[in-house]
Structure 1
Amino acid sequence: MSAAPRRYDPHSLAGRLRNAHAMTRPLMIDIIDHACRRFPSLGQTERSARVMRLVDAEAWADAALALMELELPLWQVRRIAYDDGEWYCALSRERELPDWLDAAIEARHADLALALLSAFVEVQSLAVNVSRPSVPTVRVAQDPLYEPVACDNFG
Structure 2
Amino acid sequence: MTAALRHYDPPSFSERLRDAHAMTRPLMLEIIDHACRHFPSLGQNGRTARVMRLLDAEAWADAALALMELELPTWQFRRIAYDEGEWHCALSRERELPDWLDAAVEARHADLSLALLSAFIEARALAADMSRPSVPSVRAPLDPLYEPVVCDNFG
TM-score if structure 1 supplies the norm length?
A: 0.81
Identity of aligned residues (%): 75
| Misfit runs of 4+, over 6 Å | none
**Separation in 2 of the partners of 1:77 and 1:52?**
22
**Separation in 2 of the partners of 1:40 and 1:98?**
36
Paired residue for 1:64?
64
Measured against aligned partners, the alpha-carbon deviations of 1:39-63 in whole angstroms (never above 9, x if no partner) come to 0113772111101100110000000
The answer to whether 1:13 aligns with 2:13 is: yes
**Separation in 2 of the partners of 1:20 and 1:39?**
23
Letter in 2 for 1:76: Q
Paired residue for 1:116?
116
SS at match of 2:100: coil
**Separation in 1 of the partners of 2:9 and 2:132?**
20
Alignment root-mean-square deviation, CA: 2.4
**Separation in 2 of the partners of 1:42 and 1:35?**
15
Letter in 2 for 1:24: T
Following TM superposition, by how much is the alpha carbon of 1:124 offset from its aligned partner in structure 2, in angstroms?
1.1
Say if 1:88 and 1:107, in contact at 8 Å, map to a contact too.
Answer: yes
TM-score if structure 2 supplies the norm length?
A: 0.81
Measured against aligned partners, the alpha-carbon deviations of 1:18-45 in whole angstroms (never above 9, x if no partner) come to 0000000000001000000000113772
Equivalenced residues, count:
139
**Separation in 2 of the partners of 1:40 and 1:3?**
9
Q: Which runs of 5+ in 1 are unaligned?
A: 146-155
**Separation in 1 of the partners of 2:103 and 2:14?**
19
Structure-to-structure mapping, 1:45-84, within 5 angstroms:
45-84=45-84
**Separation in 2 of the partners of 1:103 and 1:44?**
34
SS at match of 1:65: helix
SS at match of 1:55: helix
